Amino acid sequence: MAKGEITHVEFPADDPERAKRFYGAVAGWEFGDMAEFPDYHLFRNGERSGGAIGRRGQSTGQVIRLYITVDSLEEACAAAEANGGAVLEQPSDIGGGMGRFAVVRDTEGSEVGLWQSTGEGAG
């Protein structure tokens, strides 16, 4: 994945099954589940991009969140803070060698997820 590429989007839902039906009908997405992430339903919308629908405030945040691929979470988080943003969630590993993520708030108040592939798993 290329640095700066938007590769994942999370849709929070009060009723994930209802949201899956909606996006399945509107966008044609098919969903899969991961045992490691209850109430987190993955979809693909391209060869290297996709996302998930999750339960609002539990398996996802409160708002739609895009994830941008970066080379280094630590450097990207430092750059966010140095340029008027804030780190909301510090860099964390995703189990199974998939990769790592962090969440920042930009200067306009939007939450943005950052993704760093570890190259070990399917991330």
Residue 53 and residue 105 share a domain: no
Q: Report residue 95's pLDDT band, with 50, 70 and 90 as the boundaries.
A: confident
The CATH number of whichever domain residue 40 belongs to comes to 3.10.180.10
Asked whether residue 91 is assigned to any structural domain, the reply reads: yes
* pTM for this model (two decimals): 0.83
For 58, residues 6+ apart whose C-beta sits below 8 A from its C-beta are 39
Structural domain boundaries enclosing 113: 65-123
Report which secondary-structure segment, H or E, holds 104.
strand 99-105
The per-residue pLDDT for 121 is 44
| Shared-domain flag, residues 55 and 31 | yes
Segment 5-31 mean pLDDT:
95
| Total structural domains within the chain | 2
Query: Does residue 2 belong to any structural domain of this protein?
Result: no
Task: Tell me what pLDDT residue 82 has.
Answer: 97
Give me the chain's average pLDDT, please: 91
Per-residue pLDDT at 94 exceeds 60: yes
17-32 mean pLDDT: 96
Q: What is the mean pLDDT of residues 15-24?
A: 96
Same domain (yes/no): 92, 110: yes
Token readout for 111 is 């939450």
The SS3 of residue 38 is strand
Average pLDDT over every residue of 61-89: 96
Element (H, E) at 24: helix 16-27
Clarify whether residues 91 and 107 are in a common domain.
yes
C-alpha to C-alpha distance for 40 and 84, rounded to whole angstroms: 31
- Is residue 120 within 8 A of residue 112, CB to CB? The reply is no
Tokens 């060869």 found at: 47
